[in-house]
Structure 1
Amino acid sequence: MEATGMQYSVSFVFDEHKATQASAYLLGLNKGRMNYMKLMKILYLSDRRFILDWGNSITTDNYVSMDNGPVISRIYDLIKDSNTDTGTYWASCIRTIGYEVFLQKDPGVDCLSPMEMEIIERVNSEFEGFSEWDLVDFCHKNLPEWQNPHGSSIQISIEDILSAEKKGEEYNQAIGEIQLAAEIQKSNYFMQRARKL
């Protein structure tokens, strides 16, 4: 998904296995099915909390502002494509039918840390009674990094998320920590891929 706006400096290498496991874990907490917009909002809010509290990303995804609030962009693309046999890891575990996503095979949680699973559980519990439209409304009213794109999309950087909640030296420290976490994640990701070759 392409978005307009400034390119950000802190980013993670998208790890489809980890993103799939995070999504499947959330689906498992919801009897194996969810409205796809609610799944994306809960994952975004989980990532946001993990970025703010731990200086790292659960899904390793990129974020954009769209009309219905923040969107995790690559997971959104996987959701749109998972009703066809794309041969992706995601499609082997998660299927989209209409506006619902279904867990069809549990991929396990070996890519997720206990703290990442705890954050997903906490955010899911916090918004359990919310519909997808309640979550859209919540995001519009409570997330300063979201900007109305008026039918388009605007990139949300990790810096945007941090600057919405942290100021001054606290912001500078958080940026330093997340830059280090992103570099470590990239190194680990490429080392694991090299071992599989």
Structure 2
Amino acid sequence: MNSPAEKIAITVNTLLYIIQKSGGICDFHKVFKILYFADQKHLSRYGSAITDDTYIAMANGPVPSMAYDILKSLRGEGLFTSQKEQFTPYFELQINKHTVKAKKSPDLDYLSESEMRCIDESIEENYHLKFSDLTEKSHDTAWQKAVFNSEIDLLDVAKCGGAGNDMIEYIKESCENRLAVFE
């Protein structure tokens, strides 16, 4: 299991990768939807999420909680407000404060080849979509089953990505093993 610092580093480098592959500047909504659909792919194919972030069912679709808090910190908002200086070397907000520019290249040691492949596919499929189309596409059964402003079940995300019963069982067991306390 990754430490909180490792989870932050993975998330920062995943965001940098998405933004860099999207031309160096991208709005929050598009970044989050690209990550969501990449996570669906990675879960269904390999049984693990890319960043291990928690998706929240918000009005415009699933939002990765930690990723959103990292980017909100640049505006002086959210859980990481006091850590804003930790993220300013990597990201710069644009005028509208909902668009972010990558200031550095991602450290690819934080991403596997399979994760980059799923992100690349998601960018190819989703980057060209308008805000309303991405929102509608992300209002899938995983989002619909969740309580508004609450966590979306990871198994539902995997199912929306096409995970079969064997993969769902594998993901379920992996989650249980991570939560188990060994004495």
Q: TM-score, normalised by structure 2?
A: 0.79
List per-residue Cα deviations over 1:62-116 (Å, max 9, x = no partner).
Answer: 011111111111111111112456233x433122331101101223211101111
Equivalent AA in structure 2 for residue 43 of structure 1: L
Tell me the CA shift for residue 123 of structure 1.
0.7
Shift of 1:166: 6.2
Are 1:96 and 2:89 matched, yes or no? no
**Post-superposition shift, 1:180?**
5.5
State the 1:176 CA deviation. Answer: 3.8
Q: How does 1:178-189 map to 2 (within 5 A)?
A: 178-179=171-172, 181=174
Task: Report 1:34-183 matches (<5 A).
Answer: 34-84=26-76, 86-88=84-86, 90-97=87-94, 98-140=97-139, 143-147=140-144, 152-164=148-160, 170-171=164-165, 173-179=166-172, 181=174
After superposition, the CA RMSD in angstroms is 2.9
- Determine the C-alpha separation between the residues in 2 that align with 1:130 and 1:29: 15
3-state DSSP of counterpart to 2:71? helix
Q: Which runs of 4+ in 1 moved over 4 A?
A: 11-14, 163-167, 179-186
One-letter amino acid matched to 1:86:
K
Separation in 2, partners of 1:125, 1:83: 29
**CA 1:128–1:155: 2 relative to 1, 3 Å:** same
Q: Give yes or no for contact 1:80–1:96 (8 Å, CA) kept in 2.
A: no
Q: Which runs of 5+ in 1 are unaligned?
A: 1-10, 187-197
Conserved? CA contact 1:94–1:104, under 8 Å: yes
- List runs of 5+ in structure 2 lacking aligned partners: 77-82
Count of aligned positions: 169
CA change 1:120–1:165 in 2 (3 A) is: closer
Give the CA deviation at 1:125.
0.7
Tell me if the contact between 1:64 and 1:156 (Cα under 8 Å) persists in the aligned partners: yes
> SS in structure 2 opposite 1:110?
helix
Give the conservation status (yes or no) of the 8 Å contact 1:32–1:103. Answer: yes
Aligned partner of 1:95: which letter?
E
Deviation per CA, 1:118-171: give whole Å up to 9, x if none.
11111101113112222012222xx21112879x5121011222344668xx42
Distance 1:87 1:55 in 2: 34
CA distance in 1 between partners of 2:178 and 2:90 (Å): 23
Deviation at 1:22, TM superposition (A): 1.1
What is the distance in 1 between the residues matched to 2:37 and 2:15? 13
CA distance in 2 between partners of 1:148 and 1:175 (Å) = 17
